[in-house]
Amino acid sequence: MKVGVGKEIITEILTLSIKMIKADKVLDITDLPPIIVERSRDEKFGDFSTNIAMTIASIERKKPRLIADIIVENIHNSLKSEDEILSFPSSYIDKIEIAGPGFINFFMSRRFWLDSLKIVEDQGSEYGSSSLGNNRRIQIEFVSANPTGPLHIGHGRGAAVGDILANIMKKAGYIVEKEYYINDVGTQMTILGKSTLIRYQQLLGRDIPFPEDGYKGDYINDIAKDIIAKKGEYFMDQPEGVSLPFFTEFASKIILDGIKKDLEDFGVKFDNWFSEKGLYDIGEVDEVIGRLKEKGLAYEKDNAVWLRSSMFGDEKDRVLIRGNGQHTYFASDIAYHWDKFKRDFDQVIDIWGADHHGYVPRMKAIVEAMGYHKDALKTILVQLVNLKRGNEQIAMSTREGKFTTLSEVVREVGKDAARFFFLMRSSDSHLDFDLDLARKESKENPVYYVQYAHARISSIFRVAREKGIDIPTGEEVDLDLLKSPEEMTLIKEILSFPELVEKCAIYLEPHRLTYYLQDLASIFHNCYNKYRVISEDRKLTNARLILVKSIGTVLKNALLLLGISAPEKM
């Protein structure tokens, strides 16, 4: 018997029914559209709905309600049939209605929901997993900030989105690799080295101006001091050809270590740190440009090498090697993505700040030029973050080196609140991050609200134990005692979790998780205030303990996906 996701049951019976209708030639269905079953948006419309009658109607040019009638009648016959043609008991379906322009609405029985609830306990921490991904390999690349300064709050949002999406994709049955691409060559690195060198010289008393485009943050001074402590005045009279490479490497290493530390404190761990410099070292950039030339996709003009990206939907061709012989970042990005695809990922996902959106068509173009389907690369653009304290906006200026860093935010509000807040909006919406709200310990703060629900459940079990009530297992409990509409709503919400995880994975929209958690917590708190879990009625107590335990499991599993703690006490 297949218990659980009701959609599967409904899809099965619809498929069977339509097959029979076709076979009996009751209806002439030449071109069957996909059968889509959805959770009904309103209780009045039952638990599951399908618009299949309408989609068939539009193809066959018949009346939708007529087709719905035929389908429903056939389903009734199947349900009544003595032959075991269905993989589930017919008592799982209470009622089927045709409504509106031709929707078919399915009302599931209490027995179906109560039976289904058991899978939550059976699966425990695995609950919510699915085989959607079929072990397909995907890579998610995110953050990838230049090692020229500490991560700021915008990187934090990207980090949260990437890390949590990775957790979701794993839960949905993908094999996921998280990667950070280190831009450790090029102009910005040179500027970093120069900035550090000049600070070094200034600290040692040389009166020289600081460059306009230099990195002005205090951290540069700190690094310069560090070099003085280790090397003294050695570099004061060295030629730039000697000192600059040292300063560049020294500074970038310290900054990168800082980035790693910040990410670790934020709960983000990468599987792979990929160096751009490494691409040059093994000659991959030149190799890929050579191949593109062979295929006629790159050409020389005006002393530079160009990619024929306009052939693939980009608005113009782009330079790969400049007239002065230097590669553009685009060149190494091509080599990098070529390398990614060589590593045999079924899907590559790049998460970028929205200010890079102009780059998307270019990258898609190159993926196609390399012979892959353009959807093999997906990009998520994360919009910017405004930091606020209550109603007051906190000014951020990266140019001047005064900006709120990720580590400052994490230190102030904690990792849990920060991760949750970054996921409170869809990625393509601007995000106002209210530091005051993130610290508040009341229901206004959604993180506390959700964690509180979990702590409250833990507390119920503490009390139960104190009263000598053993925590029951599903086998010995009569779930049929859960009769109130609020309890049914809770059960249905719990049972929609696997579906939610799949939706997050399919649409690459991890923010849905925080909305789900708030809904679930709210329904639980409501029910909690209305009914007592622990009462004189031992059987009812047991049934409710099972329900509450299942809610706790889902809250915990969802919080775990967010990388947020599920506290027993707060």
Among 241, 358, 468, 485, interactor with RNA by CB under 7 A: 358
Nearer to RNA, 116 or 183 (CB): 183
Cβ 184 to RNA shortest distance, Å: 10
Cβ-based nearer residue to RNA, 281 or 428: 428
In angstroms, the Cα distances linking 320 to 295, 308, 333 are 15, 10, 10
Q: Take residue 14 and report the two structure tokens written for it.
A: 């619809």
DSSP conformation letters of 304-324? EEEE-GGGGT-SS-EEEE-TT
What length does the chain have?
570
- Torsion, Cα 213 218 219 221, to 10 degrees, reads 90
Q: Which is nearer to RNA, 94 or 226 (CB)?
A: 94
Determine which residue in the list 91, 187, 272, 473 makes contact with RNA, applying CB under 7 A: 187
Q: Which of residues 72-131 bind RNA (CB under 7 A)?
A: 99-103, 105
Answer for the pair 543, 478: CB distance below 8 angstroms, yes or no.
yes
CA distance 566 to 253: 35
Q: Is 528 in the site for RNA (CB under 7 A)?
A: yes
| Whether the Cβ atoms of residue 445 and residue 517 lie closer than 8 Å to each other | no
Q: Does 510 bind RNA (CB under 7 A)?
A: no
What's the min distance (Å) between Cβ of 496 and RNA?
9
Minimal distance in Å, beta carbon 402 to RNA?
17
> Which residues, numbered 209-238, are part of the site for RNA (CB under 7 A)?
none
Q: How far is 534 from 203, CA to CA, in rounded Å? A: 69
Q: How far apart are CB 325 and RNA at their closest, in Å? A: 9
Please list, in sequence order, all residues whose beta carbon lies within 8 angstroms of the beta carbon of residue 381, skipping any fewer than 6 positions away: 352, 353, 354, 356, 357, 360, 427, 428
Backbone dihedral angles phi then psi of residue 281, each to the nearest 5 degrees: -55, -40
CB 473 within 8 A of CB 466: no
Work out whether 329 is an interface residue with RNA (CB under 7 A).
Answer: yes
How many residues belong to the site for RNA (CB under 7 A)? 95
Do the beta carbons of residue 158 and residue 353 sit within 8 Å? yes
Q: Is 531 in the site for RNA (CB under 7 A)?
A: yes
Q: Which of 34, 36, 90, 39 is nearest to 498 (CA)?
A: 39
Contact string 427-466 vs RNA (x = CB under 7 A): -xxxxx--------xxxx-x-xx--x--xx-xxx-xx---
Please select the residue that binds RNA; options are 28, 42, 84, 237, rule is CB under 7 A.
42
503 is an interface residue for RNA by CB under 7 A: yes
**What type of residue sits at position 457?**
I
Contact region for RNA (CB under 7 A) — 3-11, 107-115, 281-289, 527-535? 527-535
State in angstroms the smallest separation of the CB of 303 from RNA: 5
- DSSP 3-state helix, strand, coil percentages of the chain (rounded to 5)? 55, 15, 30
- Of 166-174, 204-212, 252-260, 526-534, the window that binds RNA (rule: CB under 7 A) is 526-534
Candidate ranges 125-133, 172-180, 290-298, 420-428; the one touching RNA (CB under 7 A): 420-428
Member of 74, 309, 383, 407 binding RNA (CB under 7 A): 383
Among 8, 12, 32, 38, binds RNA (CB under 7 A): 38
